[in-house]
Amino acid sequence: MLPYKTQPVLKERIWGGRRLLHYHKFFEGCRMGESWETPLGEQGIRVLVKLLDSDDVLSLQVHPDDAYAQKHEKQMNGKSEMWVILECSEDSFVIHGFAKPVHREELLMHIEKNTLESILNYVKVRKGDCIYIPAGTVHTLGKGIVAYEVQQPSDLTYRLYDWGRTDGNGKARELHVEKALEVMDFGASQPEIRNIFDMKPQKGLNLITCPYFCVTYYAYDAGARVEMQKARPLIWSLLEGSAAILFDEGIIHAVKGDTVVIPHDYGKSVHIDCQQDIKCIESIA
């Protein structure tokens, strides 16, 4: 199978906005929250890459690990994920776990009294921040953020809290408190944050290496021609600029927001021809 540019699947979300238009995702309407960049179920593709636009804060949520997903949801894997903040407001934040350790009874009390927000760990973010969210971490993406996400290929999400939000019919979205309590980490959380824009790593900056994926960031000047990693399958996403992906059988033109897959059985070299200064991310699983 030859390298190819993916066809994104756009998802309307109650918290979505219109900034994915800036990443060449074309749609009607005004609340597009997610662009799923990689195909699910294709042989060898064991990560799901997304672009997210949070015009409003997402629900407070937690994802199960593999063991829980297999035992209780009859799915192959749970969901650990990572974000790279591509755009954000000056006061943007994410939530990553709790400010201090809590126990189940205390958490239930805060839910009952509607004071859950007081015990969460709010983390201020800036453009370029990279944050890892392992399965079991209570988390959410705050308002005013565009994020690049790499995750295990699962959409298992247990909502713990939704900020009193209702849909167009005045109906609250379903919560999954009991399941969330079964899978969450009750300890305090302080994520290690790296910022991709603090450096220009011609040889690559490893952002995350975990049991599920390895994510590396690159920045190249216009006119550079560089070889991609040889690991396969490889997911390559262009965050800024424009480039051509060169391989023996053809060429793929890529612009900001595009994702290219180098399939698991493609054994030849692939090169990036940088038509502008570019920033890109390569992921393997």
Tally of CB atoms within 10 A around 208:
20
Whether 71 and 204 map to the same domain: the answer is no
Whether 275 and 146 map to the same domain: the answer is no
CA dihedral 219, 236, 153, 171 (to 10 degrees): 70
Choose among 72, 3, 77: nearest CA to 40: 77
Per-residue pLDDT at 166 exceeds 90: no
CB-count exposure of residue 192 (10 Å: 0-12, 13-18, 19+): exposed
CATH number of the domain enclosing 266: 2.60.120.10
How far is the C-alpha of 145 from the C-alpha of 93, rounded, in Å? 9
Q: What's residue 45's pLDDT?
A: 86
Whether 191 and 280 map to the same domain: the answer is no
Q: What's residue 202's pLDDT?
A: 62
Poorest-pLDDT segment among 9-23, 105-119, 165-179: 165-179
Whether 186 and 245 map to the same domain: the answer is no
**What pTM, to 2 d.p., does this model score?**
0.95
Whether 35 and 127 map to the same domain: the answer is yes
With a pLDDT cut of 90, the percent of the chain lying above it is: 86
In angstroms, the Cα distances linking 204 to 216, 219, 227 are: 6, 8, 12
Q: What's residue 200's pLDDT?
A: 65
Whether 33 and 133 map to the same domain: the answer is yes
Whether 125 and 61 map to the same domain: the answer is yes
Whether 243 and 115 map to the same domain: the answer is no
How far is the C-alpha of 162 from the C-alpha of 80, rounded, in Å? 21
Whether 171 and 219 map to the same domain: the answer is no
Known catalytic membership, residue 104: no
Tell which of 195, 228, 250 closes a domain.
195
Tally of CB atoms within 10 A around 21:
13
The single residue of 104, 159, 173, 194 carrying the catalytic annotation is 159
Task: State pLDDT tens for residues 175-213.
Answer: 999 999 999 999 998 898 999 887 766 678 999 999 999
Structural domains counted in the chain: 2
Tell which of 195, 230, 250 closes a domain.
195
The whole domain housing 78 covers: 4-195
Whether 38 and 172 map to the same domain: the answer is yes
**To the nearest whole number, what is the mean pLDDT of the chain?**
94
Whether 39 and 109 map to the same domain: the answer is yes
Tell which of 138, 167, 195 closes a domain.
195
Q: What's residue 30's pLDDT?
A: 78
Q: What's residue 189's pLDDT?
A: 86
Task: State pLDDT tens for residues 70-105.
Answer: 999 999 999 999 999 999 999 999 999 999 999 999
Per-residue pLDDT at 5 exceeds 70: yes
Per-residue pLDDT at 148 exceeds 80: yes
Whether 15 and 115 map to the same domain: the answer is yes
